[in-house]
Amino acid sequence: MRRILAALVVACLMACRGPTGPAGPPGESGPGTRLRLTALVNETGHAHAFLPLAAAAHYGDPPALSCYVGPPDDLWWAVVSDGFEVDAPYCSLEWFGGRFLVATDQAPPGWTALWVVVY
């Protein structure tokens, strides 16, 4: 008898649902483009690449940037932090000639610099 009563209560609770409310506002759209650029680090520890003009129309609207360096013929990447140390690789995003330039400095010569840009 208790099982029947419990099943009846559950069935009634499921049937006692109010009307569905209006849909909420749409969320923000995600980033449109993810770009991956690489360059070989030269003998002075520098590598750079220009971003396409579509990456930003103004220096006040920079894209998201992640930087990495990796040794040749190996399967790992070291994350380049945003902290500046005299002897450690660092990454920069520079406004140059009406467009952005990504650069890595103080990296080991012969390594590959990798930049992931989202705009």
Domain boundaries, the chain: 31-118
Quick one: pLDDT at residue 15?
54
**Amino acid present at 74:** D
For the chain, give the mean pLDDT: 84
The answer to whether the CB of 118 falls within 8 A of the CB of 54 is: no
Task: Encode pLDDT of 32-85 as tens digits.
Answer: 899 999 999 999 999 999 999 999 888 899 999 999 999 998 899 999 986 777
What gap in Å lies between CA 8 and CA 19, rounded to an integer? 22
- Predicted confidence band at 5 (pLDDT cuts at 50, 70, 90)? very low
3-class DSSP string for 33-81 = CEEEEEEECCCCCCEEEECCHHHCCCCCCCCEEEEEEECCCCCCCEECC
9 vs 115: which has the higher pLDDT: 115
Range in 20-29, 49-58, 60-69, 101-110 with the lowest mean pLDDT: 20-29
| Mean pLDDT within 100-106 | 96
Quick one: pLDDT at residue 18?
65
